Amino acid sequence: MQQATTTDPPTDCDLCPRLVDYRRELRTKKPDWFNGAVPSFGAHDAWLLIVGLAPGATGANRTARPFTGDYAGDLLYQTLAAYGFSKGVYDRRVDDGLELV
């Protein structure tokens, strides 16, 4: 059996034309935001995987970390902390020191 491998998409991934167009539009409106395919956050061999539909417009698309900077992240990271899946403090920023465990 082949071992699964994990890779992060290139920031300028063009596999989804609708997302490409959306990112181009946002890059014009919000050039200081990340505006790219968001890399994974946490251990690649974790037994729990949480998948979002697409980078949140004001969350991951802005911050470059999944579920960070919007209400989805507020709810998710509070829940993960309550059940011992994270350490540190979630503060809607990539540099908040939050770690997934």
Token pair 């071992």 is found at 3
pLDDT in tens, 50-99: 988 877 889 999 999 999 999 999 999 999 999 999 999 999 999 999 99
Residue 84 belongs to domain spanning: 17-100
Q: How many residues does the chain have?
A: 101
**Number of domains within the chain:** 1
Q: Cα dist. 9→13, 15, 18, 31, 99 in Å?
A: 6, 10, 16, 20, 21
Helix (H/G/I), strand (E/B), else coil: 99: strand
The answer to whether position 8 is within a domain reads: no
pLDDT digits (tens, 9 = 90+) for 5-54: 567 788 888 888 988 898 899 999 999 999 988 888 888 888 899 988 87
Q: What pTM does this model have?
A: 0.82
The CATH number linked to 25 is 3.40.470.10
Q: Is 90 helix (H, G, I), strand (E, B) or coil?
A: coil
Beta strands in 46-95 (DSSP E): 86-87
Whether residue 4 is contained in a domain is answered as no
**Rounded Cα distance, 35 and 32, in Å:** 9
**pLDDT band per the 50, 70, 90 thresholds, residue 3:** low
Contact call for residues 90 and 96 (beta carbons, < 8 A): yes
Give the 3-state secondary structure of residue 69: coil
